[in-house]
Structure 1
Amino acid sequence: MRHDREPIQACLNGRRTTADHSTVPLTPHQLAAAARSAVAAGAGSVHVHPRDEEGHESLDVHWVERAVRAVRQACPGLPVGVSTGLWMCGGDAAARRDTVLKWATAQDRPDFASVNLSEAGFEDLVEILTEMNVGVEAGVWSERDALTLLGGSHAHSCVRVLVELIDLPPAEALLRADRILDLLRRAGSTPPVLLHGEGVSTWPVLDKALALGLETRIGLEDTLTGPDGDPVADNDDLVRLALSRTA
């Protein structure tokens, strides 16, 4: 298995279920197997949404620890990240804060966690994660998010800025990417940028990230099809297709 740093992060499941695609990994065992295959295909890290026993996304320490431990056992040394999407706590920022605080009791905490600037409680959550030595991916969805990040106290302490183009047609996604990247560039020294799209913008934005030498990601969370629009078999199929575009 390759554990050297690659430009591709595999986003294995997101909010999807097997109703979306039969190979979406949900259980710790499935996440471990999907991570192993994605790494064999060339991924350098993974991003997962842990699930509870009923398959619902969860930030509860029990389910986060089980998911992270399973992936680490399958892929020793692989950086493992999780989402902290506010929706997982019913939109309640205080409940999310209290839930994530309990990660301090876990032996297997994630290496990094994505935290969206557009969600309430960003600053508090970054402080908590930093105290636990969990790196923060600052999720930036818009120019406004970028300005908020740059005007705050964590612009330079995050492990990366996650520039995400969500629910946008390709042309608009690429234009917004330019605007956000320009803001970050003009601000001077910032953490590494991981640029990615979702849905129909996935492949155009991935190509842009690769052309600019930026980190990017691919996986069933972001798309179920290859660049030609044909359905893919699984996460590692997507990773292979993405890496083939780096040549």
Structure 2
Amino acid sequence: MPRSGTPWLKACLNGARRPGDHPALPLTPLELAEAAREAREAGAGAVHMHPRDEGGSESLSAVHIGAAVRAVRETCPGLPVGVSTGLWMTGGDVDARREAVRGWTALAPGDLPDFASVNLSEPGFRDLWHDLRRLGVDVEAGVWSVDDADALAASGLECARVLVEILGGPADTAVLRAHAVLDRLAGLGVPGSRLLHGEEEPTWILLDLAGQLGLATRIGLEDVLHGPTGDPVGGNPELVRLARARLT
């Protein structure tokens, strides 16, 4: 675990990456469990993952969520584990997503994730939010823009963390865009701790900003396949070690 006083770091193990995007991309429950163990040993305080079906596609079904969470818990007792609820996993079908998440009621309590991210830009987020809380799963609010910050404030919903996610766009505007979202959240009085991160080229710029601001952040193959200097990385543990070195 990182030293006291350093920003909390979450490892995002695989995301929506496709099989073959990186040789170390974890997909199966056993691969995710091993990746979580390596990330924890490298300094991550939690993991976020996108469980897959037998064909390697992202899945929200209880069978695949439960298998992945169970494997991580058996390998990494006590490590907080979260999943995504991205609407793309059900092809944009809001009802199908809700039905899949409601199916998690069939899981044993130990097979449920500790938290799940819910994107404010996606329709149906309020109902999904309530479904997760009824299951005892904490919600991380995925805020991608100032408009999402407005939607979160208007909803009145409380969350475990606000994920300030600066996705896409040029790297040279990433810091300004991050500050715009953070400032709007603060101005609206939105409660909850913040986690700031980016994807692809702006990843390391925003990780450094998170460190400067004392905010939680994340790193992993979901977000980036290269290190701060642009060199390819071997996998999640290398990314976590590189991030931890920049945050301490």
SS in structure 1 opposite 2:104?
helix
Structure 1 residue 6, shift from structure 2 partner: 5.7
**Whole-angstrom distance in 2 between the partners of 1:21 and 1:94:** 32
Distance across 1 between alignment mates of 2:3 and 2:58: 27
In percent, how many aligned pairs have the same letter?
Answer: 56
Opposite residue 188 of structure 2, the aligned amino acid is A
Q: What does residue 24 of structure 1 align with?
A: 25
Counterpart of 1:13 in structure 2 is 14
1:67 Cα deviation after fit: 0.3
Question: Counterpart of 1:140 in structure 2: which amino acid?
Answer: V
Residues 133-172 of structure 1: matches in 2 within 5 Å?
133-154=136-157, 157-172=158-173
Question: Which residue does 1:57 correspond to in 2?
Answer: 58
Per the TM alignment, residue 189 of structure 1 is displaced from its structure 2 partner at its CA by 5.4
Residue 245 of structure 1 aligns with which residue? 246
Amino acid at match of 1:222: D
* Equivalences for residues 181-196 of structure 1 within 5 A: 181-188=182-189, 190-196=191-197
Q: Letter of the aligned partner of 1:49 in structure 2?
A: H
Amino acid at match of 1:193: R
Structure 1 residue 2: deviation in Å? 7.6
2-side partners of 1:168 and 1:242: how far apart? 22
RMSD over aligned CA atoms reads 1.5
Shift in Å, 1:19: 1.7
1:109 maps onto 2:112 in alignment? yes
Cα distance, 1:3 vs. partner?
11
CA-to-partner distance for each residue in 1:127-176, whole Å, 9 max, x for gaps?
0001111000100000000001011120xx20000110111212222111
TM-score, normalised to structure 1's length? 0.96
Residue 229 of structure 1 aligns with which residue?
230
Residue pair 2:195, 2:215 contacting (<8 A) in 1 also:
yes
Segments of 5+ residues of structure 1 without an aligned counterpart are: none
Q: Deviation above 6 Å: which 4+ runs of structure 1?
A: 1-5
* Residue 104 of structure 1: how far off its partner (Å): 1.2
Confirm or deny that 1:126 pairs with 2:141.
Answer: no
Encode CA deviations 1:96-123: one digit per residue, 9 max, x unaligned.
0011001111111000000100111100
Structure 1: distance between partners of 2:19 and 2:130: 35
Distance 1:235 1:85 in 2: 21
**What amino acid sits opposite 1:25 in the alignment?**
P
Equivalenced residue count is 245
Contact 1:9 1:43 in 2 (8 A): yes
How far apart, in 2, do the equivalents of 1:3 and 1:83 lie? 28
User: Quick check: 1:6–1:44 contact (8 Å CA) kept in 2?
Assistant: no
Secondary structure of the structure 1 residue equivalent to 2:156: coil
